[in-house]
Amino acid sequence: MNACIITIGDEILIGQTLDTNSQWISDQLTTKGINVKEMISISDEKEHILKTLSRCSSENDIVLITGGLGPTNDDITKLTLSEFTGSELQFRPEIFDGLKKYFEKRNKDLIEKNRSQAYLPVNAIAIPNHRGTASGMWIEHDQTVLVSMPGVPTEMKNMMLVILQMIEEKFDLPCIVFKHVLTASIAEAILSDQLQEFEEQLPKHVKLAYLPNLGQVKLRLTAKGDDSASLSKDIDREVQKLKSIIGKHIFGYNDDTLAGKLGLLLLNEQKSLATAESCTGGYIAHQITSIAGSSSYFKGSLIAYSNEIKTSILKVKEETIVRYGAVSIETVEEMLKGILELTGADYGIAVSGIAGPTGGSEEKPVGTICIGVGSRDKIYVKQHQLLKDRMLNIKLTSTIALDSMRKFLKRQLELHPK
């Protein structure tokens, strides 16, 4: 089954807005076993939309359109769909009632422009919009399903929940089950080396894909067949095998995040965490506090960007900095002890490094970064040689630091203990 995604809007064609809708939709369709043949962005010009609709609907089973709905672009998508399918606009009292309620709830007046949003082509099934005023449409025309949705991502995503169900009911889709296995702190090349035998023994209907992203590699297992329960079992069996081979690198599944999983470990232990950051400048704390509810285990962080702060607040000895440098295993160890003392937290993360572009030396080039994790009893610090780019170094350091802390809590750390 083939699908095509059309995005309508001048703001995308002039490079003002990045189209993220198409990727999201194609990801959703792909996991249902639908083949996305083409993604197209065009302007809100009627003739061009008509030509594109005509071509795409003849080549695909389903055409999904986002954008071009609402007052700012004169509802061009709706009018063009009405013309393309030869179906007149019709007033829908139930949509109008919904609009009235929408505006009442927000203490705003419904104006004439909004009234026009209650008109849809006769042949369209309305898809309710719980986040905005433009209804979605499902139109079956000449053996093709045409779906129209607003371009606002939150409105579109909400509607897609309904539309995916309608697609599953209408079409005879292959059964697909997949699972993402999330790993950190191990390179794709090393992983694929360790998983060579695993890949060779995979049953033919199960596929493995590597999706690397800055210190993390997502492994996607996909199984295609007829029966979802048996496919799920197949996937679970392969995941168990993966766990026995690369278990300690796996931090979670599907939508898990490193910071979220670390938070759960701390919640389980009822322990608290604090961080002392130099080169990451608050990014580790930002990752931790991105998780709702992190205030119940995260005490806080000291961002010691100057040496003065390292000595005066974290009580790093001046002698240590002079002798070993601000970026050294010795300084990071003292930063870690300092933050535990200062905040009273049970566990701590400390980092110091040269993020770049300047500050490097022959002995310690840009990308030299020391990362420490531990408790009052035990501290691990390791020096890493990372990248040349400032922002990539900040993000990669954060990933390694969070993953090291996670491994420390799971007693899996193989770093050199200090």
Q: Does residue number 41 form part of the binding site for a copy of itself (CB under 8 A)?
A: yes
List the x/- string, 278-297, binding to a copy of itself by CB under 8 A: --xxxxxxx-xxx-xxxx--
Site for a copy of itself in 45-84 (CB under 8 A): 48
In the set 19, 238, 334, 403, which binds a copy of itself (CB under 8 A)? 19
Alpha-carbon gap, residue 51 to 295, rounded angstroms:
54
Alpha-carbon gap, residue 119 to 75, rounded angstroms:
10
Task: Name the nearest CA neighbour of 182 among 391, 351, 402.
Answer: 402
Q: Does residue number 156 form part of the binding site for a copy of itself (CB under 8 A)?
A: no
CB-side neighbour CA atoms (13 Å) of 413:
26
Rounded to a whole number of angstroms, the minimum distance from the CB of residue 107 to a copy of itself is 16
Strand-pair partners of 148: 65, 137
List the x/- string, 202-241, binding to a copy of itself by CB under 8 A: -------x-x------------------------------
Q: Answer whether 27's CB lies under 8 Å from 20's CB.
A: no
Q: Which is nearer to a copy of itself, 37 or 323 (CB)?
A: 37
Q: Which residues of 75-110 are buried (b: 16+ CB within 10 A; e: fewer)?
A: bbbbbbbbebbebebeebeebbebbeebeeeeeeeb
3 state SS of 282: coil
Q: Does residue number 40 form part of the binding site for a copy of itself (CB under 8 A)?
A: yes
Q: Which is nearer to a copy of itself, 118 or 354 (CB)?
A: 354
Query: Which segment (6-14, 78-86, 109-117, 158-166) binds a copy of itself by CB under 8 A?
Result: 6-14
Question: 223 — phi, psi (to 5°)?
Answer: -120, 130
Q: Does residue number 318 form part of the binding site for a copy of itself (CB under 8 A)?
A: no
Query: Which segment (19-27, 92-100, 162-170, 240-248) binds a copy of itself by CB under 8 A?
Result: 19-27
Q: Answer whether 381's CB lies under 8 Å from 370's CB.
A: yes
Rounded to a whole number of angstroms, the minimum distance from the CB of residue 33 to a copy of itself is 11
Q: Does residue number 36 form part of the binding site for a copy of itself (CB under 8 A)?
A: yes
Rounded to a whole number of angstroms, the minimum distance from the CB of residue 224 to a copy of itself is 14
In the set 107, 244, 270, 358, which binds a copy of itself (CB under 8 A)? 358
Q: Does residue number 107 form part of the binding site for a copy of itself (CB under 8 A)?
A: no
Instruction: Supply 339's token pair.
Output: 């933050």
Alpha-carbon gap, residue 231 to 35, rounded angstroms:
20
Residues 6+ apart with CB under 8 A from 105: none
The residue ranges that bind a copy of itself (CB under 8 A) are: 12-20, 22-30, 36-43, 48, 209, 211, 275, 277, 280-286, 288-290, 292-295, 298-306, 308-309, 312-313, 342-344, 356-359, 390-391, 394
